[in-house]
């Protein structure tokens, strides 16, 4: 018999970088999940915007099993058909001509920033190294990406940090214009700041960044790690905004739960990354290629993408009605199925309490900073699961409200 492990073993065995929930998930199907005690949860967290087709989707299981029986890994001394098919699908569906595969969002952004530096150094010179990013942005946890991220709390303990990175204010074009000049090689921005509080960009802000990048010969990088693969009701959020980047990064939902990341770019920029300039052992392996190929083919369908917009309306209506009764949110914002409930002044800083109360009621949610409760459910979540999840969320909010705000 296998020895059973429990939540307390986490505190004994794991490097304490996380503080996981009190319950331990054991199995899941669609948007429902069960813990070790058999308690049922509705999943509005979606594995942090990853499980875009829910848990245990039969077609994804089949894609994984079929590939698992054939070929798992060869390394990049060889290529394979599943990853080439995925690259073809991604380039056909987007502005991009070329794809670099890796295993996570941070790695995709790392590749994007390295590409932008290499292109600028090759074409202009070493002085063209500046990277303009935004306050409250999140781009991952490698040293380069955490430095590009705009939350000093995540980077300051790891100094010295990579240089020539500056941070403007999100949705404030003038503050970006003040930092972008001919020494800028890249501007990196999330079309919706996810971890930073589910804050959508304004269209004129992204359009303005596009123009500034064109004027100064800088690459515009859209970090679509959280917004990509149908999350906003478009395959990629840049298609919603009508502003096309030079480099796009995607991960999270791309594998539907199987680790994969990708950097998409044009023929022109890609040419800088000649043989040997960058790489990763697992990137582009056939297992990830097979699963992500299936994910993309299921999500990049008009009915699926329209369904995301429909589901946004279910959430918006339910949350608005709930807030009329309880008055806890100052605003509900986001795009598609990336939704942020901004806590009002009485509850500011208390998002974690709502998360814990939700778990007690049988609902998994996310937070985005201390002031925002975030939902990033599966794109195919049923109307019944949305309704039941919102009922549980309302009970959780009521439970928090029983205690008094401090
Ligand atoms: C999650 C996230 C990342 C980091 O992705 P990892 O797979 O955790 O490395 C980067 N950018 C954005 C916008 C994200 O939401």
Residue 112 inside a domain? The answer is: yes
In this prediction, residue 75 carries a pLDDT of 95
Query: Is residue 352 within 8 Å of residue 370, measured between CB atoms?
Result: yes
Residues with CB under 6 A from ligand 1: 104-106, 109, 138-140, 190, 194-195, 223, 225-226, 251-252
pLDDT in tens, 150-208: 999 999 999 999 999 999 999 999 999 999 999 999 999 999 999 999 999 999 999 99
Which of 11, 15, 297, 16 is closest to 24 using CA atoms? Answer: 11
Write the CATH number for 321.
3.90.1150.10
Q: Give the torsion sign (CA, 173, 178, 183, 189).
A: negative
Query: Is residue 365 within 8 Å of residue 358, measured between CB atoms?
Result: yes
Instruction: Read off the tokens for 298.
Output: 């299921």
pLDDT in tens, 201-257: 999 999 999 999 999 999 999 999 999 999 999 999 999 999 999 999 999 999 999
- Are 326 and 390 in the same domain? yes
Counting ligand 1 atoms within 8 A of each CB, the residue from 52, 139, 232, 249 with the most, and so the one to mutate, is 139
Residue 1 inside a domain? The answer is: no
Q: Which atom of ligand 1 is nearest to the CA of 105?
A: 5
Question: What are the C-alpha distances in Å from 46 to residues 151, 225, 226, 240, 345?
Answer: 24, 14, 11, 22, 28
d(CA 326, ligand 1 centre) in Å:
33
Which of 238, 254, 276, 237 is closest to 114 using CA atoms? Answer: 276
CA angle 285, 294, 239 (to 5 degrees): 100
d(CA 346, ligand 1 centre) in Å:
30
Q: Which bin fits 65, alpha (ψ -120 to 50), beta or left (φ > 0)?
A: alpha
For the CA atoms of 67, 68, 69, 70, the dihedral, rounded to the nearest 10 degrees, stands at 50
- Would you call the peptide bond into 160 cis, given omega within 30 degrees of 0 as the criterion? yes
- Are 211 and 103 in the same domain? yes
Counting ligand 1 atoms within 8 A of each CB, the residue from 47, 101, 138, 147 with the most, and so the one to mutate, is 138
Q: Which atom of ligand 1 is nearest to the CA of 140?
A: 4
- Are 312 and 292 in the same domain? no
- Are 163 and 248 in the same domain? yes
Band of residue 149 on the pLDDT scale cut at 50, 70, 90: very high
Question: What are the C-alpha distances in Å from 134 to residues 22, 25, 69, 161, 223?
Answer: 34, 35, 45, 16, 12
Q: Is the pLDDT of residue 330 over 70?
A: yes
| Residue where one domain finishes, among candidates 282, 299, 316 | 299
Domain that holds residue 150: 71-299
- Are 138 and 191 in the same domain? yes
Question: What are the C-alpha distances in Å from 149 to residues 53, 338, 377?
Answer: 28, 20, 24
d(CA 81, ligand 1 centre) in Å:
27
Counting ligand 1 atoms within 8 A of each CB, the residue from 102, 146, 193, 195 with the most, and so the one to mutate, is 195
Residue 65 inside a domain? The answer is: no
- Helix/strand/coil percentages in the chain, nearest 5: 40, 20, 40
Collapsed DSSP state (helix, strand, coil) of residue 44: coil
Q: Which atom of ligand 1 is nearest to the CA of 259?
A: 7
Instruction: Read off the tokens for 352.
Output: 């974690």
- Are 52 and 108 in the same domain? no
Spatial distance between the Cα atoms of 249 and 37, rounded to a whole number of angstroms: 38
Band of residue 3 on the pLDDT scale cut at 50, 70, 90: confident
The residue behind tokens 């952004």 is 109
- Quick one: what percent of the chain has pLDDT higher than 70? 99
- Are 244 and 306 in the same domain? no
Instruction: Read off the tokens for 330.
Output: 């100052």
- Are 376 and 232 in the same domain? no
How many domains, in total, are found in the chain? 2
| Residue where one domain finishes, among candidates 265, 282, 299 | 299
State the average pLDDT for the chain.
97
Residue 64 inside a domain? The answer is: no
Counting ligand 1 atoms within 8 A of each CB, the residue from 111, 225, 249 with the most, and so the one to mutate, is 225
In this prediction, residue 405 carries a pLDDT of 52
| Residue where one domain finishes, among candidates 273, 299, 325 | 299
Q: Which atom of ligand 1 is nearest to the CA of 224?
A: 13
Backbone dihedral angles phi then psi of residue 69, each to the nearest 5 degrees: -80, -10
Q: Which atom of ligand 1 is nearest to the CA of 141?
A: 9
Residue 291 inside a domain? The answer is: yes
- Are 279 and 329 in the same domain? no
- Are 139 and 196 in the same domain? yes
Collapsed DSSP state (helix, strand, coil) of residue 367: strand
| Pairing verdict, β 130-134 and 98-102 | unpaired
Write the CATH number for 183.
3.40.640.10
Residue 125 inside a domain? The answer is: yes
What value does the mean pLDDT take over residues 385-403?
97
Q: Which atom of ligand 1 is nearest to the CA of 107?
A: 9
- Are 192 and 284 in the same domain? yes
Residue 275: CB partners within 8 Å, gap ≥ 6?
none
Residue 319 inside a domain? The answer is: yes
In this prediction, residue 2 carries a pLDDT of 63
Residue 275 inside a domain? The answer is: yes
- Are 210 and 306 in the same domain? no
Residue 369: CB partners within 8 Å, gap ≥ 6?
136, 195, 196, 197, 351
In this prediction, residue 184 carries a pLDDT of 98
Tell the residue nearest (CA) to atom 6 of ligand 1.
105
Spatial distance between the Cα atoms of 372 and 341, rounded to a whole number of angstroms: 5
């Amino acid at each position: 018999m296998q020895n059973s492990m429990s939540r307390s073993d986490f505190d004994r065995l794991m490097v304490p970088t996380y503080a996981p929930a009190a319950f331990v998930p054991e199995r899941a199907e669609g948007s429902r999940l069960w813990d070790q005690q058999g308690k049922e949860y509705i999943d509005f967290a979606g594995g942090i915007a990853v499980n875009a087709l829910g848990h245990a989707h039969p077609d994804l299981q089949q894609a994984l099993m079929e590939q698992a029986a054939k070929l798992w890994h060869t390394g990049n001394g060889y290529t394979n058909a599943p990853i080439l098919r995925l690259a073809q699908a991604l380039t056909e569906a987007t502005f991009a001509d070329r794809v670099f595969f890796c295993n996570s969002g941070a790695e995709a952004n790392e590749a994007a920033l390295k590409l932008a530096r290499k292109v600028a150094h090759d074409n202009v010179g070493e002085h063209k190294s500046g990277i303009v990013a935004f306050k409250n942005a999140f781009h991952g946890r490698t040293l380069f990406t955490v430095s590009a991220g705009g939350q000093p709390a995540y980077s300051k303990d790891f100094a010295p940090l990579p240089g020539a990175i500056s941070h403007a204010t999100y949705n404030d074009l003038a503050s970006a214009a003040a930092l972008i000049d001919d020494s800028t090689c890249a501007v990196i921005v999330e079309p919706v700041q996810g971890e930073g509080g589910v804050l959508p960009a304004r269209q004129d802000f992204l359009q303005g960044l596009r123009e500034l990048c064109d004027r100064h010969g800088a690459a515009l990088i859209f970090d679509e790690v959280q917004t990509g693969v149908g999350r906003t009701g478009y395959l990629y959020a840049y298609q919603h905004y009508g502003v096309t980047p030079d480099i796009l990064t995607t991960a999270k939902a791309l594998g539907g739960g199987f680790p994969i990341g990708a950097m998409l770019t044009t023929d022109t920029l890609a040419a800088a990354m000649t043989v040997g300039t960058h790489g990763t052992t697992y990137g582009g392996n056939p297992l990830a290629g097979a699963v992500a190929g299936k994910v993309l083919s299921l999500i990049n369908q008009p009915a699926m993408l329209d369904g995301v917009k429909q589901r946004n309306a279910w959430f918006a209506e339910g949350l608005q009605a709930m807030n009329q009764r309880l008055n806890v949110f100052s605003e509900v914002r986001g795009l598609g199925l990336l939704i942020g409930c901004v806590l009002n002044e009485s509850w500011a800083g208390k998002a974690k309490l709502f998360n814990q109360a939700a778990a007690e009621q049988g609902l998994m949610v996310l937070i985005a900073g201390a002031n925002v409760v975030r939902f990033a459910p599966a794109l195919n979540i049923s109307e019944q699961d949305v309704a039941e999840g919102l009922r549980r969320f309302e009970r959780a909010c009521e439970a928090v409200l029983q205690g008094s705000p401090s």
